């Protein structure tokens, strides 16, 4: 089954594909749609998320292939700008490695990448088992409104999206959650990024985990036209937490204009 996709914008505008993070779905880009009104926008629900429950099981290489197929079929001219966050950013990186000709310009934010020669604690037998036990214990309580709201606030999701968060929580399964963790925590830089000629902006919020912040130079160094910046004062889901700021950066980069002030960017290569 193909990905569920929401489509908006003019029939003659350049195409943009928005790739959401894990545990949410395409609605998490709602605060960007008005800013992108001059673009043709495609917002897929990634495998095992939202309305794409039957498009899985989730695996980053297969998800990137599905996104490449979406761009080939529905993006104008078979090419698109790509904006990805978290899991969506990992899929965007895989897309750059596997199908670089499909991508015009790209923004990837909050990208977890394993440093060379390392493993995530969640990849080990003990860490993975403990996590599975924790999630299994949580599942019977997952629909308690207090816990849904606590999860929403911990992710920086505005209160207006409480119904969407509740729906995502109801769909949660142990097997699906562990596939998400395996995909996310096992992700390393894919081979082939040296072929990606699309201008790429790699971002991380100042309040993100250290491993995500440290990935900025790692990812930038793997991309021929990569730039990397830290965004002061924001966390992981800053497209929801600080939408006006996110939108200003996004629109400037997609149009090839100078980035807004206030970013802490790595020195040029």
- Going along the chain from its start, the domains and CATH numbers come out as 5-118+186-265 (3.40.50.1820)
- Per-residue pLDDT of 103-149, as tens digits, reads 999 999 999 999 888 888 777 888 888 988 998 988 888 889 988 99
Q: How far apart are CA 238 and CA 206, in angstroms?
A: 10
Q: What DSSP string runs through 223-259?
A: STTEEEEEETT--TTHHHHSHHHHHHHHHHHHHTPPP
Angle between helices 174-185 and 125-138 (to 10 degrees): 140
> Can you say whether the dihedral through the CA atoms of 42, 43, 45, 47 is positive or negative?
positive
User: Pick from 66, 69, 19, 65: which is nearest to 42 by CA?
Assistant: 19
Token output for 225: 């036209």
pLDDT tens for the chain, 269 residues long, are 689 999 999 988 999 999 999 999 999 999 999 999 999 999 999 999 999 999 889 999 999 999 999 999 999 999 999 999 999 999 999 999 999 999 999 999 999 999 888 888 777 888 888 988 998 988 888 889 988 999 899 888 999 999 999 999 999 999 999 999 999 999 999 999 999 999 999 999 999 999 999 999 999 999 999 999 999 999 999 999 999 999 999 999 999 999 999 999 998 76
- Three-state DSSP at 39 gives coil
Q: Please indicate, yes or no, whether the overall pTM of this predicted structure exceeds 0.85.
A: yes
- How do 80-85 and 103-109 pair as beta strands? parallel
- Is 59 within 8 Å of 22 (Cβ atoms)? no
- Separation between Cα atoms, residue 164 and residue 183, nearest integer Å: 23
pLDDT given at position 79: 97
Q: Which residues pair with 109 in a beta bridge?
A: 85, 203
Cα distances (angstroms) measured from residue 248 to each of 21, 212, 245, 259, 262: 20, 22, 5, 8, 11
DSSP state of 143: T
Strand-by-strand arrangement of the 40-44 sheet: 5-8, 40-44, 15-19, 80-85, 103-109, 200-205, 226-231, 264-265
């Amino acid at each position: 089954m193909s990905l569920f996709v929401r489509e908006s914008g003019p029939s003659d505008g350049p195409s943009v594909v928005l790739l959401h993070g894990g545990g949410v779905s395409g609605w998490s880009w709602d605060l960007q749609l008005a800013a992108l009104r001059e673009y043709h926008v495609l917002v897929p629900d990634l495998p095992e998320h939202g309305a794409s429950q039957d498009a899985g099981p989730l695996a980053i290489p297969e998800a990137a292939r599905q996104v490449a197929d979406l761009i080939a079929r529905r993006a104008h001219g078979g090419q698109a700008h790509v904006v990805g966050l978290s899991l969506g950013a990992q899929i965007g990186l895989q897309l750059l490695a596997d199908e670089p000709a499909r991508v015009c310009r790209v923004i990837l934010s909050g990208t977890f990448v394993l440093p060379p020669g390392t493993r995530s604690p969640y990849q080990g037998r003990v860490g993975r088992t403990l996590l599975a036990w924790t999630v299994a214990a949580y599942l019977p309580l997952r629909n308690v409104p207090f816990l849904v709201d606590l999860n929403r606030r911990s992710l920086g999701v505005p209160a207006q999206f409480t119904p969407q968060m509740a729906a995502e929580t109801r769909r949660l399964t142990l097997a699906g959650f562990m596939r998400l963790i395996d995909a996310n925590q096992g992700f390393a830089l894919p081979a082939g990024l040296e072929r990606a000629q699309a201008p790429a902006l790699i971002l991380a919020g100042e309040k993100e985990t250290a491993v995500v912040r440290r990935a900025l130079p790692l990812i930038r160094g793997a991309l021929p036209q990569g730039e990397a910046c830290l965004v002061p004062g924001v966390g992981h889901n800053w497209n929801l937490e600080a939408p006006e700021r996110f939108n200003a950066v996004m629109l400037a980069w997609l149009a090839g204009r100078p980035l807004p002030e206030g970013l802490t960017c790595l020195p040029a290569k």
